[in-house]
């Protein structure tokens, strides 16, 4: 008997440990770090290929909603639902939203909970592990996957495996499930070496399988305050442009807790399926280097690089030539507005550096120079006293909000495509090499009526050029007016 599997993709993280490539508003799961697809897309494709996999349910940060929708469309996967968190409340509430969603039609629905930013190299072994976990879930267990360690890793939590689970069903499975004897936090190197020598320990992968009913029952029993808050947020949900928004006040009032602390460490129904499927959570630049393809010197390079007398390093150039000479065990990552040079052993200090940026009013930890919007993107090219130059791309059929500015005028030059421009009550069409001027204080709108992307150069002039100098009168994407 094969059960339908409902993939639950958690994509709420900020992924700042991979700064400067990853930013709070463009986290690692939305980046193509290990293949041509992004990590989210790879996770969706992997889940979609499982036997009896249903359309996925995504739970994500509201700020990333259009990027996530766009990435789903690019691989022709249509989610059953996309839930938007008004604020991060960790994994226990996020999973509860999906459980309430499924329970309304089938309380015995099998949930396969997957973070959007994990790497799995062996999809066949992964499928076998999911099959075993599904059998256990049908017998009311809450299942986690324990990755069998091949090194004394200090960056992961550990699971001590107990007695073998005897399934009531006679369904054949290639793997075995074990009772969870105990969970352990990230250990010291000495403790991790002891775990490896003793055996019977596995890395806690952060992936789970259970029924919607069992999860909600356990949540109500062990964390009733989370259950009540999420239930209220779900019952008062609204639909916005196809996205599902839990009630903001109720969800904000929900305690923040992980599924590990809220459920898995306190339930008596936790089991672990040991698995070896080439897993990594890509939690740091060092872990990304470990799984990346490397040359004879142990170096991974990407982009325009010149590397000499250098070993065991990760070097990534996004925009320009990066030369590294005579350095070993380093991380060098170049982006348009920030460069990271770091010894591989110092990856834990990156968090402190990012906090320093925030406390000093910097924005490099929040966003790239290229800012993505539901209609396309823009990026800064040049800036000086009383002027700013931007490059803008508008996707076919999309349009910016009807807006005006109190402090700046704008001059638009079409580089390619066709621009439909409305200024007050006047509507105009502009083609390549044509331009128009938007006076200060005039309501205006930009639209791409064509079949190809619209690219234009915008020159702003005025006393104040901040992004908050915008008054929206009408918006197609439900943004605040």
Residue 440: CATH number of its domain = 2.60.120.10
Q: Is the same domain home to 175 and 293?
A: no
* pLDDT for position 25: 84
User: What's the domain count of the chain?
Assistant: 3
Does any domain span residue 480?
A: no
Q: Is the same domain home to 233 and 274?
A: yes
The domain of 403 spans: 370-474
pTM of the predicted protein model: 0.88
* pLDDT for position 341: 97
Q: Is the same domain home to 39 and 72?
A: yes
Q: Is the same domain home to 113 and 246?
A: yes
Give the single-character DSSP code of 220.
Answer: H
User: Which residue stretches of the chain have pLDDT < 70?
Assistant: 1-2, 14-15, 168-174, 480-481
Sheet holding 426-430, edge to edge: 426-430, 419-423, 444-447, 402-404, 471-474
Does any domain span residue 200?
A: yes
- Tell me if 275 sits within 8 A of 148, measured CB to CB: yes
Does any domain span residue 481?
A: no
Distance of alpha carbon 28 from alpha carbon 45, whole angstroms: 17
CB atoms within 10 A of CB 309: 10
* pLDDT for position 348: 82
Q: Is the same domain home to 220 and 295?
A: no
* pLDDT for position 154: 82
* pLDDT for position 171: 57
Q: Is the same domain home to 22 and 160?
A: yes
Which pair of tokens denotes residue 68? 């996530």
**Domain boundary residue, one of 244, 263, 280:** 280
Q: In the structure, how many helices (H) and strands (E) does the chain have? A: 11, 30
Q: Is the same domain home to 40 and 152?
A: yes
Distance of alpha carbon 209 from alpha carbon 9, whole angstroms: 12
Q: Is the same domain home to 331 and 432?
A: no
**Domain boundary residue, one of 260, 280, 300:** 280
Q: Is the same domain home to 289 and 412?
A: no
Q: Is the same domain home to 216 and 256?
A: yes
* pLDDT for position 15: 64
Does any domain span residue 220?
A: yes
Does any domain span residue 365?
A: no
Distance of alpha carbon 335 from alpha carbon 320, whole angstroms: 8
CATH number at residue 118: 3.90.550.10
* pLDDT for position 366: 85
Q: Is the same domain home to 293 and 235?
A: no
Sign of the CA dihedral with 251 first, then 255, 258, and 261 last: negative
How many Å is the maximal CA-CA distance in the chain?
77
- Tell me if 348 sits within 8 A of 354, measured CB to CB: no
* pLDDT for position 87: 84
**Domain boundary residue, one of 311, 338, 358:** 358
Q: Is the same domain home to 294 and 374?
A: no
């Amino acid at each position: 008997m094969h059960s339908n599997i409902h993939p639950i993709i958690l994509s709420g993280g900020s992924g700042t440990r991979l700064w400067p490539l990853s930013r709070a508003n463009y986290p690692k799961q939305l980046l193509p770090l290990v293949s041509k697809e992004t990590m989210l897309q790879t996770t969706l494709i992997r889940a979609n290929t499982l036997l009896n996999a249903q359309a996925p349910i995504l739970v994500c940060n509201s700020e990333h909603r259009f990027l996530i929708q766009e990435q789903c469309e690019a691989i022709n996967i249509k989610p059953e639902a996309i839930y938007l968190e008004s604020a991060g409340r960790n994994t226990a509430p996020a999973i509860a939203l999906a459980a309430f969603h499924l329970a309304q039609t089938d309380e015995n629905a099998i949930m396969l909970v997957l973070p959007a930013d994990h790497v799995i190299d062996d999809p066949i072994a992964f499928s076998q592990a999911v099959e075993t976990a599904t059998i256990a879930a049908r017998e009311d267990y809450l299942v986690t996957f324990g990755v069998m360690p091949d090194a004394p890793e200090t960056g992961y939590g550990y699971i001590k495996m107990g007695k073998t689970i005897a399934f009531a069903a006679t369904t054949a499975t290639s793997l075995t499930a074990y009772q969870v004897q105990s969970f352990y936090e990230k250990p010291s190197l000495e403790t991790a070496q002891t775990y490896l020598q003793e055996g019977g320990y596995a890395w806690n992968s952060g992936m789970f399988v259970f029924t919607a009913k069992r999860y909600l029952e356990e949540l109500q029993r062990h964390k009733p305050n989370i259950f009540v808050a999420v239930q209220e947020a779900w019952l008062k949900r609204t639909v916005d442009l196809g996205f599902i928004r839990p009630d903001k006040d109720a969800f904000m009032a929900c305690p923040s807790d992980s599924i590990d602390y809220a459920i898995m460490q306190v339930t008596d129904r936790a089991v672990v399926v040991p698995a070896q499927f080439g897993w990594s959570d890509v939690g740091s630049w060092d872990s990304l280097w470990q799984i990346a393809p490397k040359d004879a010197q142990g170096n991974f390079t990407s982009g325009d690089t010149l590397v000499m007398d250098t070993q065991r390093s990760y070097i990534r150039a996004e925009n320009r030539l990066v030369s590294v000479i005579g350095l070993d065990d380093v991380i060098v990552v170049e982006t348009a507005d920030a460069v990271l040079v770091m010894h591989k052993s110092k990856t834990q200090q990156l968090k402190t550096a990012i906090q320093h940026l925030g406390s000093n009013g910097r924005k490099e930890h929040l966003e790239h120079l290229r800012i993505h919007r539901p209609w396309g993107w823009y990026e800064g090219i040049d800036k000086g006293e009383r002027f700013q130059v931007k490059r803008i791309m508008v996707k076919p059929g999309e349009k910016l909000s009807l807006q005006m500015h109190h402090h700046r005028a704008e001059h638009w030059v079409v580089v390619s495509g066709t621009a439909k421009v409305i200024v007050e009550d006047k509507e105009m069409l502009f083609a390549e090499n044509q331009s128009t001027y938007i006076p200060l204080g005039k309501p205006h709108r930009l639209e791409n009526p064509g079949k190809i992307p619209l690219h234009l150069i915008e020159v702003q002039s005025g006393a104040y050029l901040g992004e908050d100098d915008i008054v929206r009168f009408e918006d197609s994407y439900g943004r605040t007016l």
